[in-house]
Structure 1
Amino acid sequence: MIAQFLPQLQQLHVFINRCYEVFHNIICQLHAFLTLKSSFLERAQERKLIRMWRSLGLLLSVLISLDEIIRQQSTLQQHWQSYYRAMQLVAHNPSQFDARSDLLQPLQGLIASIDQSIMQANLYKNCCQQMFDKNIHDNLQFSERMKGITIEMFEKWDRVAADDMPDKRHLMTIVALVLCHMFIFRTVDKKMMRIVWNSYKKLPLFHLSGYVIWSPCEFMLENMIDVDRIIDKKMIAAMIAAKSAQFVQNMETLPREAANAANILDEWKCDMNEKMKETPERISKNHLTLRISLFLRGIRYADLLCRLLKTLMSRLVIEQKAISRSSASAAFRLIETIKEIEEIFCKWWYDVLESCQEAVQYCSAKLIHLINTVHQTIRSESDFSYHTVDTLSALTVAENALLGSISRTSLIVVGTALEMACYTASKIFRGSDVEKIDELLLRLDTLSSLGNIIFRTCNCSFLFWHRSFIAAYFNAIIEDNNSRPELFFGAINDIETILGSDESALDRRVKESIRDELYELYEKLYLKKLCEAVETDLRLTVHSHLQLDDRTPKDPMHDINMRLVNLLQMPAVQLFDRLIDVKRYVEKYLESTFYDLTAVALHDSNTYMAMSLLAEQKYNLILCQSRLPFQKLDQGPDVLFVARNIDSFVESYNYNLNEQFFIEKDSKSKQLTILTTEHVANSIRTHGMGIMHTTINHAYQFLKKKFYVFSQLLYDDRIRNQLVKDERYFHQNAEKLGKMYPVSRAQRFSAAIRLLGVSDDDLYLDKLRILITEIGNVMGYVRLVRSGGVEANMQSLGFLPSLDDIPSFEPLAINAKLSPESISAAKVLDNVFDVAKKNINQSDNYLQILVEAFAPELRGNTNTKYEHLNFFYMIVPPLTINYVDRMLSCKGKLGRRARQNNTFTDDGFILGVAFILVLLDQHSYFSDLNWFQSVAHECEEEIYNASLGARSSSSKIASDPSAAIRLAKLDQYQKV
């Protein structure tokens, strides 16, 4: 870490050494100038060179700032000590660390110099305690000159601070000169120290940088010699009390300033817009003066707010005190006010520059006039002494500097030239003119650097050290109706100004790290909360018909819906080099959320479509379509879900062959679920044609398990022997029986099977019938899915005039010389039509596919393992009798109140028997039994006998109701 930071420390070390040299040189030059002989320059002692002394103080204040910053960086100090000890270890044994001794020695020298000059945080004291010639240390005249100038500077600062904001940088300069006087001349001037000590009454402390708070009086206590003799305990207690009072006053001032900020800003903004919109051909002096005063008023107010925030927030961190919610909200408003002032300056910037340029010309002309008047007066004198010539030369230099473009350099030349002319000490200028010259020079300095002043006073880079404060702002945006995030982001972007201006890899990584950290805070504390708030509002609005209306009147100033609308209308904000579109972020969140929730619950697609439309209507959020196939309100059971749970489906549903639908056997609710061709078509439109193949796969897996059970049921020797016996009996007596398998034989078979073991209260025939019914239900489901596929394709091709003459669009697009994209689209359209037409023509017979899959394995003539299935057709008659009895029993229960079963159709058994007969290639054998003709003949014969008996004795029916019941039962048999 320190190794990477070492180049910056080396640059700082070079800069500090240069500061030492400049300080030493200036002191020597000032001393030499003061002791200059008259032969070189007459009355040199009268020239105070205050600007040179002020520059010297500014140089020392830079070193003081560096000392305070380094002293506050505990992490840097710890890392440096670890690095310093490690490098000492390397220096003692270079070979152990593979270090080159010829390069190590200069590095060690640099590290030692940095440790002595920078890390000890004594830059200011070391600079002031440099060795000078003895005549400088002992020169009382030089000491009095420095003392007098310092006191004069403080008195002027004190007069200005009484009516305006205290200049903190100027005060720091004065304190630096006061202590520098003590170090150079090795004596403490009690009067001067006490005069400067009273500065705490105007400014007890102020913010320097980061968390650093600097107190002039405390700095004097730390560095003053014989402090107990100069400053007593009462003075120290008064200073400490003033510091505490300032903190309390700042805390109290913060909400009040925030409350007044809006009014002050509105008034200033109104005046700015009014004055800047006035564009006369020639701007008058009064109009120009009003404009400049407006500029300075805005800058002064921004500087006041920025100072208040910097000092207060830094003291809160140092003293580890929490800030209240109201005070934090007030601080938010003040930061937004500062950036709005900067924004107004940017809005009128070209007019501001033009006004400043005109004001500079006016001030420089007025200053030239004052200088030229004195110049002409002196030239008119008859007596020209060396002093007069020097004065005229200095005034000429000042005039020439003012005739050119006004810059900081030219103003330094003007000020120095006027001091060389002794404009304050001699009587060549009147007292009022001296004040005017100072005021004009100050005004020129301000106007020539107005852009830098605005940038400095409106710069909120101090937020870098208060990122928890930024997080608190992000967290309060939604609830705070007065927040203006676009202005606050302008303050956040000021952080970039202190992260390095060059494009080095280190600076880029630092910027990216801070940017990502701030974006994560913004996303976590604001963006995601905003998305959730919008989603919740949309969800509640869509389902508002399910809850009672709230009769409580809403406060329009605190209506969350209006707040969300305003936040979504906010323009995109910039975070360093990243642009954040809040509206688009919310749109992407809703698109992703609606897509995911629709994909896992397609039956809610209508709800999310309504929420998407509501988002556009209410918040102007344009959401992309999810491209998911939506379900209908009459969607019915999902085909894919049924295929995956086909075991429970075939047990819980009955199949109707004629109408081709499935109906639920029983339900806890008052409704029974059905599955029709239309429902299957809707599911296919939802999931695509691929689910048809999925259905076949699940059906195949299910049939594999069921045919294994089917084989086990028919493997019983007693069942097989009975089937063989019945088959032999039928073939031996075919002619006698009229080639019809007798019903009585089937009934005897059923009675014989009843003697076999049972399980779960189901007889053998019941178990076999249920198994065959489930197999038939599977086949019915496959048949239903196939019909649903045809229905879905027919609907997709419903707008074509003819299915037999579908044109090919790709050749038409090629002949029309359309774009490659159009040709590709035409090719896709042709492929869609071909697939749909193929599906309609039923090129895939799924029932035949299943037959071909199982037939080679189950037919006994090819596999001896399943020879016991060869006589299955002989058990069909007993099964049909069992099936008819059950259907009659179920229909008899339909009218009962406490019904347990709602079965009125069960064609799965019929389809299952037909499928197994085809699968085992026994359909012809079963046809030879003429079973259905035998049943019909038996019913007709019994009906005839019953009717004949009724005619012979009409009273018998009345006395024996069983005859009527028998007739009714035979009639039901025929219908079934």
Structure 2
Amino acid sequence: MCKIAPKIIETTGVHFQTMYEHLGELLTVLLTLDEIIDNHITLKDHWTMYKRLLKSVHHNPSKFGIQEEKLKPFEKFLLKLEGQLLDGMIFQGCIEQQFDSLNGGVSVSKNSTFAEEFAHSIRSIFANVEAKLGEPSEIDQRDKYVGICGLFVLHFQIFRTIDKKFYKSLLDICKKVPAITLTANIIWFPDNFLIQKIPAAAKLLDRKSLQAIKMYRDTFLQQKAQSLTKDVQSYYVFVSSWMMKMESILSKEQKMDKFAEDLTNRCNVFIQGFLYAYSISTIIKTTMNLYMSMQKPMTKTSVKALCRLVELLKKRVISDKKYSEQRLDVLSALVLAENTLNGPSTKQRRLIVSLALSVGTQMKTFKDEELFPLQVVMKKLDLISELRERVQTQCDCCFLYWHRAVFPIYLDDVYENAVDAARLHYMFSALRDCVPAMMHARHLDSYEILLDCYEKEIMEILNEHLLDKLCKEIEKDLRLSVHTHLKLDDRNPFKVGMKDLALFFSLNPIRFFNRFIDIRAYVTHYLDKTFYNLTTVALHDWATYSEMRNLATQRYGLVMTEAHLPSQTLEQGLDVLEIMRNIHIFVSRYLYNLNNQIFIERTSNNKHLNTINIRHIANSIRTHGTGIMNTTYPFERAEKFNRGIRKLGITPEGQSYLDQFRQLISQIGNAMGYVRMIRSGGLHCSSNAIRFVPDLEDIVNFEELVKEEGLAEETVKAARHLDSVLSDHTRNSAEGTEYFKMLVDVFAPEFRRPKNIHLRNFYIIVPPLTLNFVEHSISCKEKLNKKNKIGAAFTDDGFAMGVAYILKLLDQYQEFDSLHWFQSVREKYLKEIRAVAKQQNVQSASQDEKLLQTMNLTQKRLDVYLQEFELLYFSLSSARIFFRADKTAAEENQEKKEKEEEIKTSNGDLSESTVSADPVVK
């Protein structure tokens, strides 16, 4: 391209303004290349690294497979390439060429006529450009202004003359146009360019003028930031109105009698749309690139406004599929024919017409009032002929690649203002414009790497700032809606506002690269995955998540997938089989309550204690079947438990032997209580299952009835199964297995063997054990009021069950009753209570308050101890009933005598009765 300029300059025989315009376009391209290379830091860094690599090659060329004699020519070529391209001197190299012929030919620099013609053409072009800059009708004047500045520098470089007035006029443009975007994120400042390329001219301006020019940029940026919101509103109205006009003229049939008028109207609408696109594109590029170039932070309001302008830029009307290049040529030809010009409006024809008009204007063929309408028509013709290319250029948003930082802010705004969610399509359409430029990348092995990185980055931003936030908000809303009874938060719409997030799910899938982003499917998949995983963790919450699925369908239209997980509809607490496997742990960690038939966890690190009652056992039996009821206490486990009783020792906590003995007895009693609960739970489960049978005493045989009716074999088989089920349920509900009697019969012989002779005086240790238990029980209950987690309890009936069981095994009930232990305890505490009451009466007369308080505390302590002994007595008496040992020795002797008398009476032996009868009077 640098070789074209001298040839254009040397053709001094033809002085066309159009030629100067094309020369300005060429210089603009060269200037743009310089700016791109100057701003490409990565390219410079890699070039430096490459040159360093060559130095390493010098030391050992054979290692790299390079001939040493080829290195120096290659280095010279690199230096030449660096000087021509990478030093940012392409434009400078072009204008500093030798334009004068050295062989005595044309002398360009001394041709005053050419110099005057050159300067006149620049001023003429500038006059046309200046009038349009910053106006609504501006089309490409900014690009031409860049070319004019390049031509002015070229003129100075050739002729070394400066028009001071024109130089100031060029700089005054900075007041209206402080910066111009050449391409993508490359921004150009005309004042810097003119001062740098013509240092001599810079001396003509004082320091204030130069500072004022830079102040214009700051002022322009501040004003633009303040007016962006208003500009968005205005352009939104303009573009919407234009779209309606566009759709109207495209759908309306053309009338042959008004064909030219319709074509003119269409042209005007097309041109107006292009003007809107140019203005919007200029605002976006200039504002964004100025912020980046001046390194100033952009407010969220400005980012949102610019993103809305990008959306307007990507809006489109219904396309006419029949619209083609031939039709465009016809349209252009008819408009040209109306203006006395014939032929299709191709680029070559218009160039020839432009050159012809340039010749005509030089010869003053047309008057100014005749030439202006013609120029207007020609300008319209250029726009219409290149409408598609120009619109694509102005609506191209590839510059967003360099301003990806605005995308998160834009997504946050879309999320907060969900009412206008459909605009996401326009933004992603703009983001796709970056792809063609990346596909031309040559600095990577494959442009696909660049595309993959870009796609990954955009998707990560989209997930973080929209999709994931949307998923979390929908899940939160569903949870709070299902748990409204818990009043977890205040969702008063008058306080926290409302967002209709359902609008996101009405969007069509968004196309981006080779994928479609379906917001509805993304959120649905997230909810399905979350609900499934959480349901597997807590199966008892299946109903809650099922309700949340239904609510998601009703409120947001999300069609959820059923989890198809086993639903835990029964509340069974700890599983019976797990308790069986770890019965030794269970009896040591749980306390038994005899009256309510409930086990309570002794201690827990949580804020609650687990409990097990009959309902839990029944539900567990229903889950696993009634077969587990017979595995409650097998002989092997009982034998293992029996051996464990003998293993007494000192605990690390420093408990006494008596404490250990009491705990061991309590654990034995807990096992007995668990056996009782298993039996009760089994009966509860069986009674629930059999409750639909009307009469348990008279159950018909369905198999016989079906056979009598002669029904099919499948029906007979089904009836047989029904009879079997009814038989099992009837047997289970009426089963009277006495588990306690079985346990006594199994272990009693073992306990009464000579090797266990040391247990013959077990009943003697029961009184101190009960005293130890009472003290322990009182201590545990007092810890409840102190909010102490360790050692606090309100029940431990396992001790009473254990004592009752062991006394039955050793057949020592009569010996224990002979001690009259509880009677003596009752008498002892009542005696002490009466003595304290008597002392209180004496001390109340002397009015010694401290002593009275002491007496009151003593009486309260005695009352508590007496109450605890009474409760233990009642619990032990109840436990004895389970083992058929509820009668005292005296009651059993009396009952035994009565039975003997009944037997004698039934055998006719009346000797005893006659002896005791009254004497017969003869």
TM-score by length of 2: 0.68
Per-residue deviation, 1:874: 9.5
Please name the residue that 1:42 is paired with: none
Please name the residue that 1:131 is paired with: 98
Partner Cα separation in structure 1 for residue 328 and residue 485 of structure 2: 67
1:450-496 per-position Cα deviation (integer Å, ceiling 9, x unaligned): 22222221222222111111121123322234563222222222222
Please name the residue that 1:615 is paired with: 552
1:58-457 matches, within 5 Å, as 58-91=25-58, 93-95=60-62, 99-101=66-68, 104-105=71-72, 107-134=74-101, 135-161=107-133, 163=135, 164-165=137-138, 167-228=141-202, 230-233=204-207, 235-280=209-254, 282=256, 284-340=259-315, 343-344=316-317, 347-350=318-321, 353=323, 360-368=329-337, 402-403=343-344, 406-416=345-355, 419=358, 422-426=359-363, 434-457=371-394
**For the Cα contact (< 8 Å) 2:412–2:465, is it kept in 1?**
yes
**Alpha carbon RMSD of aligned pairs, Å?**
5.3
Please name the residue that 1:517 is paired with: 457
Partner Cα separation in structure 1 for residue 668 and residue 275 of structure 2: 95
Partner Cα separation in structure 1 for residue 394 and residue 673 of structure 2: 83
Which residue identity lines up with residue 5 of structure 2 in the other structure?
A: F
Which residue identity lines up with residue 403 of structure 2 in the other structure?
A: H
1:711 aligns with 2:680: no
Partner Cα separation in structure 1 for residue 602 and residue 215 of structure 2: 87
1:2-21 matches, within 5 Å, as 19-21=1-3
Please name the residue that 2:795 is paired with: 901
Per-residue deviation, 1:61: 0.6
1:191-247 per-position Cα deviation (integer Å, ceiling 9, x unaligned): 543443333344232222344321223211110152245445454344334333322
SS of structure 2 residue aligned to 1:204: coil
Please name the residue that 1:23 is paired with: 5
Per-residue deviation, 1:64: 0.5
**For the Cα contact (< 8 Å) 2:185–2:402, is it kept in 1?**
yes
SS of structure 1 residue aligned to 2:218: helix
1:502-541 matches, within 5 Å, as 505-541=445-481
Partner Cα separation in structure 2 for residue 570 and residue 161 of structure 1: 41
Per-residue deviation, 1:117: 1.4
SS of structure 2 residue aligned to 1:579: strand
Per-residue deviation, 1:589: 1.5
List runs of 5+ in structure 2 lacking aligned partners: 102-106, 649-654, 692-700, 705-720, 730-745, 783-792, 810-882, 901-922
Which residue identity lines up with residue 493 of structure 1 in the other structure?
A: R
**For the Cα contact (< 8 Å) 1:653–1:662, is it kept in 2?**
no
Moved more, 610-619 or 487-496: 487-496
Partner Cα separation in structure 1 for residue 374 and residue 213 of structure 2: 36
Please name the residue that 1:486 is paired with: 425
**For the Cα contact (< 8 Å) 1:67–1:123, is it kept in 2?**
yes
Partner Cα separation in structure 2 for residue 948 and residue 776 of structure 1: 32
1:723-758 per-position Cα deviation (integer Å, ceiling 9, x unaligned): xxxxxxxxxxxxxxxxxxxxxxxxxxxxxxxxxxx9
SS of structure 2 residue aligned to 1:321: coil
Per-residue deviation, 1:509: 0.3
Which residue identity lines up with residue 711 of structure 1 in the other structure?
A: R
Aligned with 1:597 (options 534, 538, 543): 534
Which residue identity lines up with residue 26 of structure 1 in the other structure?
A: I
Per-residue deviation, 1:306: 2.0
Please name the residue that 1:957 is paired with: none
Which residue identity lines up with residue 319 of structure 2 in the other structure?
A: W
Moved more, 504-513 or 241-250: 241-250
1:495 aligns with 2:464: no
Partner Cα separation in structure 2 for residue 715 and residue 536 of structure 1: 56
Partner Cα separation in structure 1 for residue 49 and residue 660 of structure 2: 90
1:539-579 per-position Cα deviation (integer Å, ceiling 9, x unaligned): 11111123399796639xx94342x1112322222332232
1:461–1:675 CA distance, 2 compared to 1 (3 A):
same
Please name the residue that 1:3 is paired with: none
Per-residue deviation, 1:429: 5.6
1:93–1:881 CA distance, 2 compared to 1 (3 A):
same
**For the Cα contact (< 8 Å) 1:636–1:674, is it kept in 2?**
no
**For the Cα contact (< 8 Å) 2:531–2:545, is it kept in 1?**
yes
1:543-622 matches, within 5 Å, as 543-547=483-487, 554=494, 559-562=497-500, 564-622=501-559
1:60-119 per-position Cα deviation (integer Å, ceiling 9, x unaligned): 111101111222233432332232233244336534656433554554344222211122
Moved more, 229-238 or 179-188: 229-238
SS of structure 1 residue aligned to 2:567: coil
1:801-838 per-position Cα deviation (integer Å, ceiling 9, x unaligned): x9999xxxxxxxxxxxxxxxxxxxxxxxxxxx9xx99x
SS of structure 2 residue aligned to 1:525: helix
Per-residue deviation, 1:870: 8.2
Per-residue deviation, 1:128: 1.2
1:530–1:712 CA distance, 2 compared to 1 (3 A):
closer
SS of structure 2 residue aligned to 1:574: strand
SS of structure 1 residue aligned to 2:2: helix
1:227–1:417 CA distance, 2 compared to 1 (3 A):
closer
Per-residue deviation, 1:637: 3.9
**For the Cα contact (< 8 Å) 1:305–1:338, is it kept in 2?**
yes
**For the Cα contact (< 8 Å) 2:667–2:798, is it kept in 1?**
no
Partner Cα separation in structure 2 for residue 280 and residue 906 of structure 1: 107
**For the Cα contact (< 8 Å) 2:180–2:286, is it kept in 1?**
yes
Please name the residue that 2:895 is paired with: 944
SS of structure 2 residue aligned to 1:213: strand
Partner Cα separation in structure 2 for residue 307 and residue 349 of structure 1: 27
1:27–1:653 CA distance, 2 compared to 1 (3 A):
same
Partner Cα separation in structure 2 for residue 202 and residue 665 of structure 1: 83
1:866-917 per-position Cα deviation (integer Å, ceiling 9, x unaligned): x99987999999999999x999x99xx9xxx9994375999999999999xx
Per-residue deviation, 1:776: 6.4
SS of structure 1 residue aligned to 2:658: coil
Please name the residue that 1:57 is paired with: 24
1:872–1:448 CA distance, 2 compared to 1 (3 A):
farther
SS of structure 1 residue aligned to 2:481: helix
**For the Cα contact (< 8 Å) 1:474–1:522, is it kept in 2?**
yes
Per-residue deviation, 1:513: 0.3
SS of structure 1 residue aligned to 2:210: helix
Partner Cα separation in structure 1 for residue 684 and residue 8 of structure 2: 99
Partner Cα separation in structure 2 for residue 605 and residue 418 of structure 1: 83
1:643–1:219 CA distance, 2 compared to 1 (3 A):
farther
Q: Among the aligned pairs, what percent are the same residue?
A: 25
Which residue identity lines up with residue 113 of structure 1 in the other structure?
A: K
1:487–1:882 CA distance, 2 compared to 1 (3 A):
farther
Partner Cα separation in structure 2 for residue 934 and residue 251 of structure 1: 96
**For the Cα contact (< 8 Å) 1:684–1:789, is it kept in 2?**
no
Please name the residue that 1:853 is paired with: none
1:911–1:465 CA distance, 2 compared to 1 (3 A):
farther
Partner Cα separation in structure 1 for residue 447 and residue 491 of structure 2: 58
Moved more, 782-791 or 630-639: 782-791
1:762-801 matches, within 5 Å, as none
**For the Cα contact (< 8 Å) 1:631–1:683, is it kept in 2?**
no
